[in-house]
């Protein structure tokens, strides 16, 4: 991976940092000089990440809990970069989706992104430092996939949320 882009002196928050893409993003950002804060709901994943990436800060919180997440992110401090990567996905036919399945998708894949982005954006605005917010979406937002009605529709909502955030936050000229 090309690490010629440098983030020296920049503070980054990565959600869904315990596994997969989020974990890899933490490693790359740290390699590029960022001070990285990794957020996950699984303490064991964060502990093993700390062993791999010395100096990484960690926040363990279930992002489906609005108030606990808001408090944890506020306490973590100011960030120059937010990568909203956390997501869940249940593969279920449309007719078998339950309220619980739908709520979990909404809470983690959309509401948490909204919540965390608000906290980080407000800090960026208050400090006048600007910054970047990256919302990880999916090609599933543009096409229908069998047994993915909830995931596809929520990722489409993520795309629209991102556009609205750009429209509203763009005036701060980050």
Residue tagged active-site, from 67, 122, 155, 173:
155
Give the separation between CA 174 and CA 169, rounded to whole angstroms. Answer: 8
Answer for the pair 14, 25: CB distance below 8 angstroms, yes or no: yes
Query: Is 151 annotated in the active site?
Result: yes
Active site residue 11: no
Q: Which of 151, 163, 172, 173 is catalytic?
A: 151
Sign (positive or negative) of CA dihedral 115, 120, 126, 131? negative
Q: DSSP characters for 37-94?
A: EEEES-HHHHHHHHHHSTT-EEEE--TTSHHHHHHHHHHH---SEEEE-------B-G
Catalytic site positions? 151, 155
């Amino acid at each position: 991976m090309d690490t010629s882009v440098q983030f020296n002196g920049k503070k980054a928050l990565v959600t869904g940092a315990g596994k997969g893409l989020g974990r890899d993003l933490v490693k790359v950002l740290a390699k590029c000089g960022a001070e990285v804060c990794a957020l996950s709901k699984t303490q064991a994943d964060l502990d093993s990440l700390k062993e791999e990436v010395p100096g990484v800060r960690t926040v363990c919180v279930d992002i489906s809990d609005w108030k606990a997440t808001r408090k944890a992110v506020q306490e973590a401090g100011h960030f120059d970069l937010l990568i909203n990567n956390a997501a869940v996905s249940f593969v279920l036919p449309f007719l078998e989706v339950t309220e619980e399945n739908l709520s979990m998708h909404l809470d983690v894949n959309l509401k948490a992104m909204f919540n965390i982005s608000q906290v980080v954006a407000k800090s960026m605005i208050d400090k006048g430092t600007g910054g970047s917010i990256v919302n990880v979406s999916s090609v599933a937002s543009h096409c229908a996939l069998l047994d993915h009605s909830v995931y596809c529709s929520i990722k489409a909502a993520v795309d629209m949320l991102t556009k609205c955030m750009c429209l509203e936050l763009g005036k701060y000229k980050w």
